[in-house]
Amino acid sequence: MIRAIRLLVLLGLGVWLALYLRQLGGIVEVQVGETFIGVPVWLGLLALVVGFAVVHLLLVGWRALRTWPARIRARRDLRHRRDGDAAVTRALVALAAGTPDAARLEIRRARGLLGDTPHTLLLTAEAERMAGRDDAANEAFRTLAARPDGRFLGLRGLLRDAMQREDWPAAQRLAREAEAAQPGAAWVKEERAALALRTRDWREALALSAPEGLTGHRRAALALAAARQDGEPAMASALEKQALSADPGFAPAALAVARRQAADGSPRRARTTLQAAWTAAPHPDLAEAYLDGEGDPLARVKAAEALTHENRTHPESRLVLGRTALAANLTGRARAELEALVASGEADRRAYLAMVDMDAVELGDSAAGRVAEAKWLRAAAAAPPEPRWQCLHCGTAHARWEPVCDACGTAGRVEWTGGAPRTGAVATA
């Protein structure tokens, strides 16, 4: 509205100026050689304005003519982009719906319209993989990896494929390249950690595991596995200590540290290590190692007392005290420990078998002895089995702790399991 009024005012002024100039009169004279042109001022001005408008229109027309092909190209590109984006969307829908053939068709269309961009290549690879054409998928991932903007995506796809094929050397190479392409990417770190576990590279797995991402026990297991793998004694020793500090109750780590301390000529430190581990989590192997040097049965009783003085009432403590006392013929002592253990309801099969041994010593081959033996054997049969190393993945029992279950090949799942329930009394008769 305001523009229209302004234009009207301008036009009015123009007309007024033209009329005024006409009224004013006057002539514009142009003389070229002998030729002499004279026009009124208003006509001269009009010719000037018209001439300017014509030149302006000519210039605009020329420019439009010159940029015509580029504009046609831009319009075509825009159309392709729109159609390509629509094809990409349809491909995504087809992928989500699990129809790889439709997805491949749409992706081919999108690639024709948009060219090889990181997302068309990625979608190509995903659609080919879903269709079970791994070679075509890897080809797309390789093309993607060759581009600076799609390198990480390409390597990621190739790495996933290498891990699926269990081609570990290729997977390790790709993981390193992916790490270089995207330093610090959490996903690469996780994959490298999984890869290290699969290739039994415990040191790498330990280095890649974030301290907060692993429980103490898992860390301890990795460190001990790495120590066993390391041929260099100083490094192996450091890893064993690391394992023990990550989980002070991890018996295999305590045994390894103690064994090394004893070999280095410090049996007292070795005993202290075993004792500390016993306090954290009593384990029969610790007692066996602790009592190993003691030949005399009475000295073994003393050693067992020293080992267990921090947690005398723990079932394992009572068991080792009862057994050593029995071996030293201290039957009163042995009976007190073993009966307390049986009465606690935390006894497993070993306690009842120790009772059988004790009654055999005390009652001998008598009628009462045979009755007692039958009673304890029945109780042993009903009691929970002794704790043991067991793969939590496949359930296979192992004689000792191993980093990998040799039955199912799972890493880090062999754990100390079983033992008596903490509550509820077990029938003793």
Q: Which residues bind Zn ion (CB under 5 A)?
A: 391, 393-394, 396, 405, 407-408
Nearer to Zn ion, 167 or 406 (CB): 406
| Shortest reach from residue 405's CB to Zn ion, in Å | 3
| Shortest reach from residue 222's CB to Zn ion, in Å | 17
CA–CA gap between residue 379 and residue 338 (Å, rounded):
14
Nearer to Zn ion, 10 or 408 (CB): 408
| Shortest reach from residue 395's CB to Zn ion, in Å | 7
| Shortest reach from residue 421's CB to Zn ion, in Å | 24
Nearer to Zn ion, 354 or 405 (CB): 405
CB-based contacts of 237-241 (< 8 A; 24+ apart in sequence): 239/203, 239/206
Strand-pair category, 35-40 with 388-391: unpaired
The maximal CA–CA distance of the chain, rounded, in angstroms, is 162
Please choose, from the candidates 414, 56, 49, the residue with its C-alpha nearest in 3D space to the C-alpha of residue 220.
Answer: 414
| Shortest reach from residue 406's CB to Zn ion, in Å | 8
CA–CA gap between residue 135 and residue 260 (Å, rounded):
52
**C-alpha gyration radius of the chain:** 45
Query: For residue 21, how far is the Cα from the chain centroid?
Result: 88
Nearer to Zn ion, 44 or 412 (CB): 412
DSSP 213: G
Residues 6+ positions from 44 with CB-CB distance below 8 Å:
28
| Shortest reach from residue 218's CB to Zn ion, in Å | 16
Nearer to Zn ion, 153 or 391 (CB): 391
Query: For residue 415, how far is the Cα from the chain centroid?
Result: 22
| Shortest reach from residue 255's CB to Zn ion, in Å | 22
Q: Are 165 and 157 in contact (CB under 8 A)?
A: no
Please choose, from the candidates 314, 320, 350, 348, the residue with its C-alpha nearest in 3D space to the C-alpha of residue 334.
Answer: 320
Q: Are 24 and 12 in contact (CB under 8 A)?
A: no
Phi and psi at residue 99, in whole multiples of 5°?
-115, 85
| Shortest reach from residue 387's CB to Zn ion, in Å | 17
Nearer to Zn ion, 310 or 415 (CB): 415
Nearer to Zn ion, 158 or 197 (CB): 197
Nearer to Zn ion, 60 or 394 (CB): 394
